[in-house]
Amino acid sequence: MKNKWYRMKGVKVLLVVLAHIFAIATTVGVLWVCANSTFRKEIFKGKPATKYEDSQNFNEQMKDYTAQVVDGISARKYFETEGKYDPNKIVDVEAYDQNMEYTGKNESGLSYRLSDLLKWDNAMNESGDKDGENPIIVCRKNDGTYRYYRYTAFAELINSKKLQFTFSVGSDTTTEKILSALKSGKYDYSTGEYGTTNGIHGIKNAEGKTVYVDCWNYDGASINEPYHPIGAESLMDLANKDPRWNGRLSEAYSTVSSVKDSLCEKYEQYRNTNDGIEEGDSNFYYIYADLKTGAIYTNQKRFENFQALESNLDVLRQTGKYVIVKSKLKDFQTNLKSEIAEAWRDEIKNSGTTKKDFVFAACVNTNYPIEDHFYTENMFYENYGSNIRLICVLSIISLFLFAGCVVWLVMIAGRRADDEDVHLVAFDHWKTEIAAAIVIGAWLTVGIVGNFVYFDEYMMGMDTTFYSQSDYIRNALPYMIAGGFFGGYTCTMFLIGLLSLVRRIKAHTVWGNSICRMFCHLVRDIIMNFPALMRGFIYFGVFVIVHWIALFSYGSGNAIVLMFIAEAIVFVYIVYDAIGRKKIGDGLKRIVAGELDYKIDTKRMIGGQKEAAESVNSIGDGLERAVEASMKNERLKTSLITNVSHDIKTPLTSIINYVNLLKNEHFEDPRLQRYIEVLEQKSMRLKTLTEDVVEASKISSGNIKLEYMNLDFTELIMQTSAEYEEKLEERNLTEVQNISMSKALVHVDGRRTWRILANLYNNAAKYAMSGSRIYTDLVVTDTEVVFSMKNVSEQPLNISADQLTERFIRGDVARSTEGSGLGLSIARTLTEMQKGKFELYLDGDLFKVVVTFPKVQENETGRIEK
């Protein structure tokens, strides 16, 4: 397969590194652009301003200062008398609430001094007021008007008999009950008594005259009253005294609260009229002229002369960027870029002191002689504005390059350069939901614990002014550095999660390795095996119910005892279940090991576990019967082979003898000589075959006795090699020996071991390629004696090594050569019977056999240790 370089490991590492670099560059670039409001607003314009005074932010700052000035000037009427602040000014609350104006007179009956309203405590009491434990009682008179009491005053009148409750006929209500309900603030006048259906019939005075028809707890709006209205001690006192406010106590409270808050807001506008733009503190100049009254409002003393208004406007026009607004749009003048005349006119008209006959002019000295907000913004625009668009473009390019790296990584995820298989990493084998939770959780943890929540504060403060370059670096750059790190970390988590998901999709394991699939399979298995699980579910249900009963019994003795009994039963069940599973496991191991008559003890087993154990015992019985039947068949086959071989051997011996007699006749006819030669070859082959069959039969049935002795394996190899030398030469085969001359003592049966070597040499003589070499090696180690033989087969070896050692299997598939197919099988069996190893290797036509026996150890005295 052609090597695909773009999938190589090095390419993947490079792409990951580049993706992180581009992600960090994008993050830092975005934060850099967002660090200054001027840059943000200009960067997305088709043609950004080249100078700060032509920027959108410059225009907006002028509008903000203009709104501050106009709002402050319009608020003067609420706080000044004859052009001076008047704290004793009378504020008619109702008039102000309805018309946003007041005359300085108490016309509605509800008025306060201006200073009292401005100093008022802004805190509202949600439960009523600061006297929440001394609630207001409302008493209704016969004429439909109301009288308001504090509870303490009302209770004192009741207790002193100056007022007395008149109860309904049959009512069980008492004075104490009513007072208690009123004090708690829960007296319900519709029923007459808290918690009963019988109430009072009225309230009489000391003379017995009914002065109130009923009473109840006040439930309307209420506020704390640190200051009192003019002419009254409190709003409640005002409602009792002034018929205009009787029955309107809740409205009075609400109105006072609303007016108080509104005036405080107006007062802040009044105080901050020139905040930050006082003469000598700002490059922003303004003039507001009321043409009717001739009043001039300005932050520059040189512009206070009303008569010099026009010449002062000319000065503003020549100073820098300016705007001049009059009541008519045709008179609007400005050298600001992209400003709408109507928007400016409406702002001044609706917020100023008059809707007609006004002139408003504002300008910014673009030489920036004073180091104010405009000066600082201009400095930053000059220092960074020329590069900010380039930074934005580079950030966008970095974003696209990051996306390209991600797409490339997605395409090659799970692939290698040298194959088409999908390769998963260890993380891909985790459950899908767990892997996703880890990636997302790790990202969120660093984002929150790592104090990245402070970016909210940073983003909120981006519109503020940095008064110097060092101030800007100190406040903005740390966030950009931290943001770069967080961008890199986010890239890491993103790539880990995305690439793992892609590899799972390619390997089709997203669903297959998910918890949801496990749950679905669990439900399926429960449904399919519900009858078998029913008993377990019942036990589990009882156990859970007992514990919930104990939980909700709040420590009841009987429930706790019941819970302990349930836990004890479960404990005993778990113990015996584990013992039973261990018994079944041990029984299976012993049966597998050959103890077919082993029986598992089924005592103290119940249910399905006992049935499983009995089934295992039945399996043992069945296997034992099967083994006995197999052994019986094997003995019958062995007996048959032995008997048939014996019956063949007798006539075969006669044939061989008669062939020898014919050879002694010395026939001169060549044809007769050939016939006799063929008879001799075939009869001897049949004899060898018969002997091999008998030998193999005895070995397989175990009907063979081994006579162990210590012998030198080297000598045995040399002897066998010499015996087969002539036979090898007949086929022009050369034996190349590499035999260790050191002592190679082995504890084996000499005759059977010679048979092993003879079979190997005989096999080589028959099947090795004519004219080739046969290599024999003997290696002696500290613990083993290893003999190996290898040669090249004359016939193709199209079978496996295991098949070649089976009975009656020959490498010569055409069976054109002599042989029974039993030689290698006999050699392997005899080797293994003597605790040796017989290993066969085939590599193409190369045949190799390795025979290994344990080496007999000799001690230092020369004595042999077995």
Q: Which helix (H) or strand (E) holds 788?
A: strand 784-792
Task: Tell me which DSSP letter residue 50 carries.
Answer: S
Which has more pLDDT, 644 or 287? 287
Separation of alpha carbons 856 and 866, rounded Å: 6
What pLDDT, in 10s, does the model give residues 178-204?
898 888 887 865 554 443 334 678 899
- Give residue 110's pLDDT band: very low, low, confident or very high (50, 70, 90): very high
- Tell how strand 734-739 and strand 773-780 pair up: parallel
What pLDDT, in 10s, does the model give residues 8-49?
888 999 999 999 999 999 988 887 777 666 666 666 665 667
pLDDT of amino acid 469: 42
Rounded percentage of the chain residues whose pLDDT exceeds 70 = 81
pLDDT of amino acid 465: 45
Separation of alpha carbons 720 and 827, rounded Å: 14
Q: Give which of 51, 24, 20, 19 is closest to 38, Cα–Cα.
A: 51
pLDDT of amino acid 646: 62
> Is residue 369 within 8 Å of 341, Cβ to Cβ?
no
What pLDDT, in 10s, does the model give residues 320-348?
999 999 989 899 999 988 788 888 888 88
Separation of alpha carbons 664 and 674, rounded Å: 14
Task: Tell me which DSSP letter residue 306 carries.
Answer: G
> Is residue 372 within 8 Å of 283, Cβ to Cβ?
yes
pLDDT at 536 over 80: no
Separation of alpha carbons 829 and 838, rounded Å: 8
pLDDT of amino acid 251: 93
Q: Give which of 121, 105, 124, 123 is closest to 113, Cα–Cα.
A: 105
Q: What share of the chain is helix, strand, coil (3-state, %, to 5)?
A: 55, 15, 30
**CA 174 and chain centroid, separation:** 67
Separation of alpha carbons 10 and 60, rounded Å: 53
Q: Return the C-alpha torsion angle 495, 501, 504, 506, nearest 10.
A: -80
Which has more pLDDT, 543 or 476? 543
pLDDT of amino acid 21: 94
- Give residue 707's pLDDT band: very low, low, confident or very high (50, 70, 90): confident
Separation of alpha carbons 320 and 365, rounded Å: 5
Would you put residue 83 in left (φ > 0), alpha (ψ -120 to 50) or beta?
Answer: left
Q: Give which of 16, 282, 236 is closest to 110, Cα–Cα.
A: 236
- Report CA Rg, the chain: 56
pLDDT of amino acid 808: 45
Separation of alpha carbons 484 and 402, rounded Å: 14
Name the token pair of 301.
Answer: 């003393």
Sign of the CA dihedral with 82 first, then 87, 91, and 96 last:
positive
Q: Give which of 163, 200, 164 is closest to 181, Cα–Cα.
A: 200
Q: Read off the amino acid at residue 659.
A: V
> Is residue 613 within 8 Å of 580, Cβ to Cβ?
yes
Q: Using CB atoms within 10 Å of the CB of residue 332, give its burial: 0 to 12 exposed, 13 to 18 middle, 19+ buried.
A: middle
Cβ contacts of 689 within 8 Å, gap of 6 or more:
820
pLDDT at 814 over 50: no
What pLDDT, in 10s, does the model give residues 563-605?
777 777 777 777 777 777 788 888 888 877 777 677 778 777 7
Separation of alpha carbons 358 and 292, rounded Å: 8
Exposure string for 247-268, b = 16+ CB within 10 A, e = fewer: ebbebbbbbbbebbeebeebbe
Q: How far, in Å, are 587, 588, 631 from residue 592 at the CA level? A: 9, 6, 18
- Give residue 127's pLDDT band: very low, low, confident or very high (50, 70, 90): very low
Long-range contacts at 486-491 (CB < 8 A, ≥ 24 apart): 486/27, 486/446, 486/447, 486/450, 486/452, 487/23, 487/24, 487/26, 487/27, 487/28, 488/20, 488/23, 488/24, 488/27, 489/443, 489/446, 490/23, 490/27, 490/443, 491/19, 491/20, 491/23, 491/24, 491/402
Separation of alpha carbons 215 and 212, rounded Å: 7
pLDDT of amino acid 197: 37
Most confident region among 442-456, 494-508, 786-800, 804-818 by mean pLDDT: 494-508
Name the token pair of 829.
Answer: 């069996």
Separation of alpha carbons 224 and 528, rounded Å: 72
Q: How far, in Å, are 41, 185, 322, 509, 525 from residue 522 at the CA level? A: 58, 59, 78, 18, 5
Separation of alpha carbons 455 and 480, rounded Å: 10
Q: What is the mean pLDDT of the chain?
A: 81
pTM of full prediction above 0.75: no
Diameter over CA atoms, the chain: 178
> Is residue 221 within 8 Å of 236, Cβ to Cβ?
no
